[in-house]
Every structure is written in structure tokens, then in C-alpha cells.
Amino acid sequence: MRALDRKVLRDLRGIWAQCLAIALVLACGVMVMVLSTGTQRSLTETRDTFYERHRFADVFAGATRAPRGLLSEIAAIDGVAQVEARIVFTAMVDLEGMVEPASARVISLPALGGPALNLPLLRAGRLPDPLQPDEVALSEPFAQANGLRPGDRFRAVLNGRLRDLVVTGHLLSPEYIYTLGPAAMMPDDRHYGLIWMREPAAAAATDLDGAFNDLALSLSRGAHQAAVIAAIDRLLAPYGGTGAYGRDRQMSHVFIEGELSQLGAMARVLPPIFLIVSAFLVNMVLGRLIALERRQIGLLKAIGYPIRSIVIHYLKMTIGIGFAGTLIGWGMGWWLGHQMTALYTEYFRFPWLDYTPGAAPMVISGAAAMGAVVLGALRAVLAAVRLAPAVAMAPPAPPVYRRGWADALGHVLGLRQTTMMIVRSLTRWPGRAAVTLFGVAGSVAVLIVSFVTFDIIDLVMEDIFDRTNRQHATVILHQPVKERAELDALSLPGVLHAEGVHVAPVRIRHGQASKLVSLTAQDPGADLTRLLDPDGTRIPLPDSGVALPESLADHLGLVPGETVQIELLAPPRQPWDVTVTSVFRQSMGQDILMRRDVFFALMNETPQVNMLHLAIDPAALPALQAQVKQTPAITGFTLWEDVRSSMEETMNESLITMTIIFSVLGMLITIGVVYNAARIQLAERAHELASLRVLGFRRAEVGYVLIAEQMLLTLIAVPVGWLLGYWFAVLMTQGFSTDIISLPMVISQATYAQAALTALATAFVSVLMVRRRLDRIDIVTALKQKE
């Protein structure tokens, strides 16, 4: 082994603890990059493969009743490659042993064979027999959650008629990878599922012989989707068309895209923090090592070593740190990627989902890590090799000490000599202090981003379940009925109050921007559902015009007072120009609101409701659930306490895991920065600290010089970290917000305090680790150290 290579190994052994601290910080950046981009790639490839193999449609549309003869005209639209007509409706399900009602979306299968689009994957059993109208297949999650196997029987209310059905198999569909029931906010496999039955049986149950109410299409390569959607809307309009839309509005696809966007935001925001801190740490440690080896560098140059060899020698040490950090980061990222992928399988129903990050995340993260440490080392290395051999072999010129403003201030304040040593160190080497300060500030920022998720989720949960949706249950009606349904609902067991709403699909337009959303028409005196302004204050439903959620208003570029066009996508299907009268805060969804009387006045119809919000007596809940099962007019029943419990369970499971991970990452930054700074300070000031011991200062007083400087820098770094953390939190909420979920920007005082205390405690432990080394310094040896 070459002499310089042996020296690299000796140097690394001598500063192994500092190198390990840097490698761990670097590994965090590599880990987050591998974790987020690898998981994103795995989800994307799994989704795309499932879509392609099972012919996931490109465009979807609904109607009230359209004749099958219309399919030839739809197929003739330029750009349409294939058309699949279906019958889709909602059914109430009565499962043996389950008190609460369940509901399901019934989807028709062709009379013979399988569908041409959205081909379900058979996971167990077989498809229903076309000659057996009572045979159905179930979605696998729903069947497994309720213990329904092929051959089992259950009862369901199909369009007002109670039927006994036989399970023949379990299916998974590319159309329902993420399955949400009516008025639900999280998947609930026990209470909501999918039922596939043959088309003749579905047509008989819904009186749709020779007709369809749901449409799926695939497009040819190069087709113009907007033109196809416009053509479909024109053809379906006379038959109660509810508006065609592409994959970008398909519920399951939207949720998956939102998750992929969040993973991308994680990969963009966090890794640069760790890489930048690592570069500073490498510069700090290598700069100190080169300063100590100044004479050796001069001697190497004097005996003939070229500058290139000396530069490569120190870069090898840096690359060793980068290589160790990269390997650790790859291992941590690979393991956590498997854990996160396993977590996704609980919510996204793919037939398979394996963590396969591929080579790209590994190569990119490794190259970024190596680039960060090399850039951090270059400044220190190049500064050393520029010196002539004679200059390098001579001791460096001693610093010029003058009494400055710090000394004057210390005299006025009566500071002790040990405290003045700290003040002079900070004022005379501000660059070194700045590295420590901003490194700790970065760790505080990461900790804030970690803890702020609880603030955001707490506010979202409070808004959804305590302030805006105060109902105990929501009932979905089979079809719109008159307003007197609110009075009829009071006859149900335990119902104390009922408020009806009418939900209709609309397309909202402003300028060139448009969006398909739901319009909720409710009574102005409604108390179970309330509106909040962007600041969280309750506001009334406007007397006229329309109220928009803040995220939708921002997307369309609207402010109160402007006019927006709303096109009703249900009969009598017509556009209206309506004034935006208010903007409200909405955490989930983008529903727009209007007074019910105003809405139906625009329609020139008698007010109706198709959904009821109920306040109920908890003691009568079992009786109410039993009655709901026997009421043909009801096709869906949502208990909000179950929704809340499901959301809290899901959020807690994922949030606690991610918070622990990011808290550890933030603490590792603090350890890497403070530990390295303290080690360098100890090495540089060993002579001074030993002199203090000889002069009679106690160990605690000498240790104070070492500890207090690092803790003072940490204290100064805390407010800087708060500012950085707020900025990172803004980026996180913007990156993680989607059309479905709008995250509010909120940081509590407790979050700031937790981040500060965690950073301070971690810094104190780190500096204590170095403080123990101070006790082991040989005073005689330290005093013999040359200036």
C-alpha cells in the first residue's frame, strides 16, 4: 500500500467519531432520497402495469338512462378506441352478525365473458354464471373484512327490493385501487365494498333493459381528450348525462396521484438540507485536519509530491466518508422503503406491490452525496496546497489580538474570564460559528416539519368533525325527494334533528380554467353543517350567489364579487352565471355551496333533497341501524364517529412512524454539527484549557468554556431554525396539498418549543460526550503543544 494511502487510513482512525457523525448526517439525505423516490417509482410502475394489463379506461361518464343504440355514435367519435357501457348503482347490504348497515357499489358485467375495459382481476373463486341472476362477485378487501368466501350468502337491497345473493369470487379492479364510500373520507372495507353482477340481473334490478347509466372509454394514441369529453357530453345531455371526465378526476386515480406528488415533495425538500449540512461539516473537519498537518503538507511538496497527489490524498479521505454515508443511507432507505410500501398495501388495493426502487435513486443519491462531500472538502484542500513548501513548513502567523467591542462590553458587564474566552472565540472566528449556527438551525427546521404534522392534522380533524360537520350520521337517499323527508326522518328511531341537502355534479368555469365539482345546496339555517372563513371563524351561508372553498378559488383565480359560470351536469342541465359571495375553509374535497331555495329557483323546480344529516340519540343507534337496513329509500348510511375513528387510526399509525423518523433525522443533524464543532474546539484550544487547569481553575470551570460556547450557539440557532422551519412547513403544506386534501398552514407554540428543547437536549448530550474527553487530556502534553 502506498504511503499516502496508509496515512488516509491512520487519519480516518484518528477522527473516526467525527467521520461517523458526518456519515450519519449524509446517510439521512441519501435515505430520504432513496425512500421517497424509490417508493414513488414502485407505486408508479405498479399502478401503470396494473392499468395496462387490465385496460383501465381513459374517460368516464354517467347518465340517468341512455339507450344502448347510442353506443355506435359514441364509438364513432374521433379518438375513441373502445367503449364499455355498464349499469352502476348503490345497494344497501345486510350482513349476518353485523348490526350496522353496509353499502356497496354494484357494477354490471357483460352477459357473457368479461368486460373490455376496467377488467377485474379474479383473486379467488370464479365470475358469476350468466344463467344465475343471484350470483355476484365481491371486491376482495370487502369480502375479507366481512369473512365472505365463495359459496357464502348475504342479503342486499337492490333498488328497493331485498335479494339473497351468492358469492362466487373475489375481484380487484384498476378502477377501485382506492375505494371510498358515499360521504366517506377514508376507505372502510368493512362497511363499503364493490359487487359485480351480470348485466341482465343488474338491468332487471334497475329497470334499465336495453339501456345503461355508466360509460367507460379508452382513447386512441394522439386523441384529444377534451374534444372527446365535449362530444360525449353533447350525446349524453338528453339522457341525464352528468359530465364526462378523464382520469384526472377519477377518484381512485386522484388519490394515488396525490400520494405520488407528496413523495415527490419529500424528495425535493429534505435531502438538500442534509447534503448542505454534510458539506459544511466536511469543510469544518477537513479544514481543521489540514491546519494541523500544515507542516506535513509542506514536507510532502518539498520532497517532490505533486499537488495533484496531495489533493487526491485528502479527497480520498472525503470520499471514504461519503462512501460510508452512502452505504448507510442506501441500507436505511431500502429498509424504510419496504416498510412504507407495506403500509401502502393497507390503503391501495394492488394485486402486488413490491418495493423496487431501481438503479436511478441509488445512483442519483450516491452521486449527490459524493458531490456534497467533495465540494465541502475542495475549499479547505485547495487553500492548503497553494502554500509554498517553505511557507507551509513554517508555523502559521499568530493571530493579531486587539481589544474590540466585545472586550469593552465584557468589561462593562463584568464578565468572567472564562465567559470572555467564549465571546472572543465567537467574534474572532465568525465563519466557524456560523457553520455551527446554521447547522443547528437546519436541525430545528427539520424537527418543526416533523412535529407540525400533528398541528395540521389536529386542526383538520377539528374542522371536519367538530366545527363544520357536527352531524352524527349521514343518510344517502336512493333518489331525490321533497323537503318533507326532513320531517319523515324524525320518525326514525333516535333521530333528534334532520337537515336535508341536495348534492349535484357541476362544472365550474372561470376564464380558461374549469373543474368538475359537487354543488351542495342546503338550508340557510342549517346548524349541523357549518362554514368557516379562512381564519376559522364561523360564517353564514350567503343569501345569494355561491360560496367556494379557498383552494378552488385560488385554482380558478376567483375572489368574492367576481362572476363564475356554473354548468349543472344533471337535468335540466344548463349553465348559470353566479356571483362568488364568499370563500370558506375546507380541508377535504372541493364542494361548492349554495342556498337550497336559490339553487332550485335557478332550476325552476320544487326544492328537493338527496342526502340527510342526522343528530341522533346514541342509545337508539342499534334500533336506527336496524331500521335503515329495512328502508328501501336509503342506499347509504355513514356514521361519523366511525369515520373519525378510522381517520385517527390511520393518521396515528402513519404519522407516529414518520415523526419518529424525521425526529431522529433532525437530532442526527444536531449531533453531527455540535459534536464536530466541540471536537474541533477541544483540539484547537487544548493548550488554553490546560493552562486554565494549571492556573487553578476547576474542571467544571474549564468544561464551562467548552460547553457554554456550543450551547450559546445552539440558543442563537433556535430562532433562526424557527424561521427556516416555518418556511419548510409552508413548502410541505403546498407540496402535500392536493385537489382532495387541502392542508392548512398552522404551527403551534408547542411545536416551536418541542423542536427547540429537542435540539437543545441533543446538543447538550453531544457536547457532554466531548466534555468527557477533556477530563482525559494530559495537561503536560497539552502545555507542550506548539503554537
Q: What Rg do the C-alpha atoms of the chain give, in angstroms?
A: 34
What are the tens digits of pLDDT across the range 393-432?
666 666 555 666 666 666 566 666 667 777 767 777 677 7
Res 614: pLDDT: 93
Question: pTM higher than 0.75, yes or no?
Answer: yes
461 CB-side CA count, 13 A: 18
Q: Tell which residue, 473, 475, 472, has the closest CA to residue 611.
A: 475
Q: For residue 309, give Cα distances in angstroms to 303, 312, 381, 389, 525.
A: 13, 5, 12, 15, 82
Q: Decide if 98 contacts 146 (C-beta within 8 A).
A: yes
Helices 271-292 & 640-684 angle (0-180, nearest 10) = 10
Residue with cell 338527496: 610
Q: What cell numbers appear for 666 in the block?
A: 433532525
Res 777: pLDDT: 61
Q: Decide if 537 contacts 468 (C-beta within 8 A).
A: no
Point out the residues of the chain with pLDDT beneath 70. Answer: 1, 14, 183, 291-294, 383-385, 387-418, 424, 429, 653-654, 683-696, 739, 773-787
Q: What cell numbers appear for 309 in the block?
A: 497527489
Res 787: pLDDT: 46
Res 141: pLDDT: 93
Q: For residue 364, give Cα distances in angstroms to 20, 48, 527, 742.
A: 22, 23, 54, 31
- Strand 161-172 vs strand 121-125: parallel, antiparallel, or unpaired? antiparallel
Count of beta carbons in the 10 Å neighbourhood of residue 480: 17
Helices 3-14 & 16-53 angle (0-180, nearest 10) = 90
Res 774: pLDDT: 66
DSSP 649-692: HHHHHHHHHHHHHHHHHHHHHHHHHHHHHHHHHHHHSHHHHHHH
Looking at residue 247, the DSSP 8-state letter turns out to be: G
Q: Please list the residues that pair with 60 across neighbouring strands.
A: 216, 245
Residue with cell 352528468: 242
CA gap 184, 641 in Å, rounded: 11
252 exposure class (CB count in 10 Å sphere: 0-12, 13-18, 19+) = buried
Res 629: pLDDT: 83
Q: Where are the domains of the chain?
A: 88-207, 429-470+641-787, 495-616
Q: Tell which residue, 236, 244, 227, has the closest CA to residue 78.
A: 227
Count of beta carbons in the 10 Å neighbourhood of residue 164: 9
CA gap 250, 605 in Å, rounded: 30
